[in-house]
Structure 1
Amino acid sequence: MRLLNSLDRRGWLLLGAAALGAALFGAVATTGTTAHAGAALEERKLPMKFNWVACDPNCRGWVSAVGIITADTPRDFEEFSRGRQLGGATVVLDSSGGSVNDAITLGRRFRNLGLSTTVGISVQNRSGQSARPAVAPEAYCESMCVFLLLAGKKRYVPEAAHVRVHQIWMGDRADDAKAASYSAQDLMIVERDIGRLAKYTFDMGGAGDLLSLALSVPPWEDLHELDAGELKLTNLVTTNLVADVLPHVDVAAPAVAELAPKTQARFGAEAEPQPVKSTKTAEALVPTGAAQSAGSQK
């Protein structure tokens, strides 16, 4: 998980796909996509927003969480959840990652509420006379988003979704990580946050393989996309049935065209090697709020 360029030199933002990272990859260019696809790509570049997707009378609804995790995100979620009975609900994630420590805070809140998690894009299905919402599986969960996914008591990842990981890095030096210089204080911050993330991973029921996979991908390499075997190996997936997290909900055809091919597995069964080039995730376009304590970003 790569770190985002720091919006505040006192802190770092983590973006991307699964363990400790630097803010880099994320929104990938697409061709021939729908309006929903373009909107999803743009929203994923902005600070995370939460929306309640109602689908009464046949289902309870779910929480849509789209965008980058910033220092304001845990507070924004508390404001969103005020007055709502969210216990046991499902969060549908589409995110490039963000701040490590704030993602950990948010993930613990998810677990305390007994939330389930999945990856997808919430869309309004207007076929025929129906305006029933649905979930398009062609979505991204990268860097620290992967740890939010891990916070779910039940976790489902559709086959068309992209779950990607990379290392933690200093957010203001991720663009040219090899050429940048680092102090002992910088190394202390990164190692401290790795420790925090490791504890969180095990508290959430994740496997050490998740940390090992993420830490094996430096910021100058493409993010590693987890295949089906690795999703199980890392304990990111607890069920193969979408109905376990979104009962009575339609799973729409992909709203976003294939954005990138699967990458070769690092652990587990070998996958067919395919060329892939991930792009950087855009930095949040608005200030992320008050001064933050120093921390890593993905």
Structure 2
Amino acid sequence: MADQSISPGEGGGIEGAIIRTIFLLLLSASGSILALDFREEISRAWDEGGEQVTRVVIQPPSRTDQERPYFPKAMPVISGAESPRMPGLAEKPTPEMIANRMSFYLGSNGDASAIGRIEPGSAADFEKFLDHDGRSAKTIWLLSPGGSVPDAISMGRSVRKRRLDTMVANGGYCASSCPLAFAGGVQRLAGKHALIGVHQVSAIAKGTESWGDGISAAQQISARCVEYLVSMGVDPESWIKGMQTPKERLYIFRSEELQALKITTGLAKT
């Protein structure tokens, strides 16, 4: 799961090491606890009836109330907002599309959709799409509950390398690792009622690894995420918000936060 290298001009080298150190110090000071889950626990949590494949109506975040339940399979929408229209689809996306492995669709005028879970191998699927059916794409519209962090970062780097823009539509949903892919856009736009949120990184224990090994792995992943976000021009405080939020919850950014933390570069007109 090796990432592409980051040049010094993109936040790597000494700057990256400094950012990593600052982040880990802030993380330690905040008292955030990184989640460590065993594979069976993750599978059970994701397959239980509580994570139904459905449309879920939630209230928009406010300054004093920004956490919402995390839905890895459902499609949340803000009360009063409609499900988003996505390029390349004749109809509105369904919850089943959100719950399945990410698929890609080419629309008109260079707009393309990336809809579904980011799973191991999704970054390779994305590259194939951009090399073939999506070679005329200029803006990637994301609708995803997230998933694989390494794949999300790889997708974001592909977006930046190709000088593409990213979009989360009005009423759209980009959660967990999805904002990492979104951060790759040269221009990053979001609709007024877009739901963009983050939470803690989870590490899966393997074989004889100890809990300490798992926590160390989660810390390393978090540091890579921050280093990557800095290289994309995003304020690292955005990921600290995630590290302070339990994995079963989601910290939803308000519109003004998205701009202040440079997660977005502007507000979408649609």
Query: Could you tell me the TM-score, scaled by structure 1's length?
Result: 0.59
Match of 2:179 among 146, 161, 168: 146
- Note if contact 1:87-1:113 (Cα within 8 Å) is conserved in structure 2: no
The separation in 1 between residues aligned to 2:260 and 2:35, in whole angstroms, is: 22
Q: Quote how far apart the aligned CAs of 1:48 are.
A: 0.6
Q: Deviations over 1:186-245 (max 9, x none)?
A: 11210110111111010110002201211111225x311110121112201112354xxx
The separation in 1 between residues aligned to 2:219 and 2:162, in whole angstroms, is: 29
Q: Does 1:216 align with 2:216?
A: no
Q: Does 1:97 align with 2:146?
A: yes
Q: Does 1:113 align with 2:162?
A: yes
The answer for the alignment partner of 1:269 in structure 2 is: none
Structure 1: give runs of 5+ residues left out of the alignment.
Answer: 14-22, 55-59, 121-136, 173-180, 243-250, 252-298
Q: Deviations over 1:79-108 (max 9, x none)?
A: 212235747700001000111111111110
- Note if contact 1:87-1:115 (Cα within 8 Å) is conserved in structure 2: no
Q: Which amino acid in structure 1 is aligned with residue 173 of structure 2?
A: Y
Q: Does 1:47 align with 2:90?
A: no
Structure 2 counterpart SS, 1:219: coil
The answer for the alignment partner of 2:71 in structure 1 is: 25
Q: Does 1:230 align with 2:257?
A: yes
Structure 2: give runs of 5+ residues left out of the alignment.
Answer: 1-33, 47-68, 84-89
Instruction: Label 1:224 to 1:192 Cα distance change in 2 as closer, same or farther (>3 A).
Output: same
Structure 1 counterpart SS, 2:266: coil
The separation in 1 between residues aligned to 2:35 and 2:106, in whole angstroms, is: 29
Instruction: Label 1:239 to 1:82 Cα distance change in 2 as closer, same or farther (>3 A).
Output: same
The separation in 2 between residues aligned to 1:5 and 1:87, in whole angstroms, is: 41
Which has the bigger relative contact order, CA under 8 A and spacing at least 6? 1
Match of 2:235 among 207, 215, 234: 207
| C-alpha RMSD of the superposition | 3.5
Q: Does 1:170 align with 2:216?
A: no
- Note if contact 1:2-1:25 (Cα within 8 Å) is conserved in structure 2: no
| Identical counterparts, % of pairs | 26
- Note if contact 1:4-1:98 (Cα within 8 Å) is conserved in structure 2: no
Q: Which amino acid in structure 2 is aligned with residue 144 of structure 1?
A: S
The separation in 2 between residues aligned to 1:25 and 1:78, in whole angstroms, is: 27
Q: Quote how far apart the aligned CAs of 1:3 are.
A: 9.4
The separation in 2 between residues aligned to 1:198 and 1:225, in whole angstroms, is: 18
The separation in 1 between residues aligned to 2:247 and 2:99, in whole angstroms, is: 19
- Note if contact 1:88-1:113 (Cα within 8 Å) is conserved in structure 2: no
Structure 2 counterpart SS, 1:189: helix
Q: Quote how far apart the aligned CAs of 1:151 are.
A: 0.8
The separation in 1 between residues aligned to 2:139 and 2:145, in whole angstroms, is: 19
The separation in 2 between residues aligned to 1:4 and 1:105, in whole angstroms, is: 24
Q: Deviations over 1:159-178 (max 9, x none)?
A: 12111111111358xxxxxx
Structure 1 counterpart SS, 2:202: coil
Runs of 4+ in 1 over 3 A off after TM superposition: 1-7, 28-37, 83-88
**Larger proportion of helix:** 2
Instruction: Label 1:3 to 1:228 Cα distance change in 2 as closer, same or farther (>3 A).
Output: farther
Match of 2:218 among 184, 190, 198: 190
Structure 2 counterpart SS, 1:159: coil
The separation in 2 between residues aligned to 1:69 and 1:159, in whole angstroms, is: 24
Query: Could you tell me the TM-score, scaled by structure 2's length?
Result: 0.64
Q: Deviations over 1:9-38 (max 9, x none)?
A: 9xxx9xxxxxxxxx952425789988956x
Match of 1:81 among 130, 149, 158: 130
Instruction: Label 1:87 to 1:234 Cα distance change in 2 as closer, same or farther (>3 A).
Output: farther
Q: Which amino acid in structure 1 is aligned with residue 239 of structure 2?
A: L
Structure 1 counterpart SS, 2:196: strand
